[in-house]
Structure 1
Amino acid sequence: MQQPAVLQWPYRQYDDGDGVPHITLLHPGGYTAEIMLYGAQVVSWTNEREEELLFISTEAVYEPPHPARGGIPICFPKFYDNVNMEENGFARTRMWRLEDLMHDIAFPVPPRDHAFVDFILDNMPDNFPNWPNHRFELRLRVMLGPTGDLTMISRVKNVNIDGNPFTFKFAYHTYFPVSDIRATQVEGLETVDFVDYLQMHERFTEGPNPITFDNEIDRVYLNTPDEITVRDRELRRTFTIHKDANLPEIVVWNPWDLEARRTADLGDEEYKEMVCVEAAAVESDVTLNPDQEWTGTQRLSVEYF
């Protein structure tokens, strides 16, 4: 009989030589998730067969001031263009702290068959461009469920004492591994309006068929369904993004060959092996008054067909 996951602190902490502490969630079912305290970035998610379910570039840099290219960087408080990752947001380039959120009502007690760990970020760089020195709390819970699902729950709270509101954007910038980008399709965004970042942010409407890839793509889909799938026809594997209404948008990105060659921390041919499909609030800004909170949840699942 399988034993339930330990309810509190079911992880091991280590430094694998890159100078950055890592946390690994260990679920009794054989699933794992590895998170760096630098950026609270999930850099690995494996199933019971030890198959890696996130893409990480072989050229990724795992030390400040760079976020690692791949995994799930958190975009906050600004959204950034996918190539110049050093711009527009500090959450993914700051050291987070471990936090016990067991008594935080915004984070319900996880079921006993879930492994989880909690983090907090409550400091920001001095003179961050276009975002005054607001006081905030960004809390994160990462969980592994009994079937290997990976859940991320983030809560942003405005703790300004000067009465000022602030406005931010947010995204779980998820890199999915694929066998061949040309054999990959994204389903659930048919007939949905989108903003095309490659066409001067013009607005268009997606056609009636799933999204396929034969060139660079960088789009934000608006008012999207709560479930979106990434189907790998060669591996016969489907990832599903389950998200809540506070993440109304889906970003779809692949750099293709030209931008891949221009990107120092991405291999020239690696665009064939990845696609970013991310739950987000980037075209619809979030504004919080003091003491107000916002919560955004993403759950990733995988199945083979």
Structure 2
Amino acid sequence: MSPIPVTRSHGLEALELVSPDGARATLLLHGAHLVSWVPAGGEEQLYLSPTSAFATGQAIRGGVPVIFPQFNARGPLQKHGFARNKPWQLVSAEVGKDDALAVLRLTDDGATRMVWPHQFEAEISIRVSGRTLEMELACENRGEAPFSFAAALHTYLRLTSAMSASLQGLSGLAYWDSVDQRAGTQHEDLLRLDGSELDRIYQDLKDTLILRDADRRLRIAQQGFSDVVVWNPGEVKGAQFSDMPADGYRQMLCVEAAQVLQPVTLAPGESWAAMQVLALE
């Protein structure tokens, strides 16, 4: 094992994970935000907006934002909670014989307790090896009372062409449509983009999803997360974002491992962990 030094990326403190087989990932300490993943012998798999602000305390558009302890506006906190805007602490970062691994930690402080009065410790572990990326999010209740939270890995996947891309494996799943504010069931096995806004929370995902984009096939699996959020802002909403080009919606699809519809409740001393695994075929 050899340690990985802290460097800088986009003007912020970062870890450049490079496994011996050439797989690479860039992880910022700001928000524990993964901003790049290049599998061994492959190309960039994540979408990162070229107009995103990389500033302390601000959310980054693209990569993999960590959503905790609230999803979107489903609660009293700022949208998607505070974890993606906070500096995380480095626990470990090292290169092994066939992988590179980093672990970052976030604990409560005066600022978090003002808006969310709980003692917690969250950790994210990022591992790259070959053509696989593993992201594990964990949380422990360090306080004297139970608390509940939502969480997600808000993964922005890069697309060559949104209009020809499809996501396979959602057939039969119930979902909540956040655009139309109604429940539905997915009947087709392939989900395609048509340029309009797509924002659905699918529940009880059991199978692996496959993103097809030109000649690329990306397998998306999760463990411990019961929901998967599929989101694309579409042409109209995408044009309204100040931190994304007007045509950015054509180059991304969010497939987010999530725990939203049934938040996690932890008793004092209890912990929870869940994972999303991406593998380029």
The residue aligned with 2:141 is: 158
Partners of 1:17 and 1:231 in 2: how far apart? 30
CA RMSD after TM alignment: 2.0
Matched, 1:208 2:201: no
The residue aligned with 1:66 is: 58
Residue pair 1:8, 1:116 contacting (<8 A) in 2 also: no
1:20-54 Cα offsets, whole Å, 9 max, x none, are 20101011111110000000010001133462111
2:239 is paired with a residue of what secondary structure?
A: helix
Residue pair 1:99, 1:119 contacting (<8 A) in 2 also: yes
Q: CA deviation at 1:67?
A: 1.7
The residue aligned with 1:134 is: 118
Q: CA deviation at 1:112?
A: 4.2
Inter-CA distance 61–15: structure 2 relative to 1 (3 Å threshold): same
Which residues in structure 2 correspond to 1:20-169 (within 5 Å)?
Answer: 20-49=12-41, 51-80=43-72, 87-100=79-92, 112-124=97-109, 125-126=111-112, 129=115, 131=116, 133-145=117-129, 147-160=130-143, 163-169=144-150
Partners of 1:59 and 1:227 in 2: how far apart? 32
Aligned residue type for 1:292 = E
Partners of 1:184 and 1:63 in 2: how far apart? 32
1:87-134 Cα offsets, whole Å, 9 max, x none, are 2401110000111499xxxxxxx97422101111003534654x3x20
The residue aligned with 1:301 is: 279
Partners of 1:101 and 1:27 in 2: how far apart? 12
Structure with bigger strand share is 2
Identity of aligned residues (%): 29
Partners of 1:17 and 1:58 in 2: how far apart? 11
Residue pair 1:188, 1:225 contacting (<8 A) in 2 also: no
Partners of 2:232 and 2:103 in 1: how far apart? 30
The residue aligned with 2:166 is: 185
Matched, 1:291 2:276: no
Matched, 1:221 2:199: no
Partners of 1:277 and 1:16 in 2: how far apart? 24
Aligned residue type for 2:138 = R
Residue pair 1:80, 1:87 contacting (<8 A) in 2 also: yes
Q: CA deviation at 1:295?
A: 0.5
Partners of 1:8 and 1:172 in 2: how far apart? 28
Unaligned runs of 5+ in 2: none
| TM-score normalized by the length of structure 1 | 0.85
The residue aligned with 2:8 is: 15
Inter-CA distance 300–255: structure 2 relative to 1 (3 Å threshold): same
The residue aligned with 2:255 is: 277
Matched, 1:172 2:156: no
The residue aligned with 1:241 is: 220
Residue pair 2:108, 2:118 contacting (<8 A) in 1 also: no
Residue pair 2:51, 2:243 contacting (<8 A) in 1 also: yes
Q: CA deviation at 1:226?
A: 3.9
| TM-score normalized by the length of structure 2 | 0.92
1:189 is paired with a residue of what secondary structure?
A: coil
1:220-269 Cα offsets, whole Å, 9 max, x none, are 0011124111111x2x101111211x201110000011111111101100
Residue pair 2:161, 2:251 contacting (<8 A) in 1 also: yes
Detail structure 1 runs of 4+ shifted over 6 Å in the superposition.
none
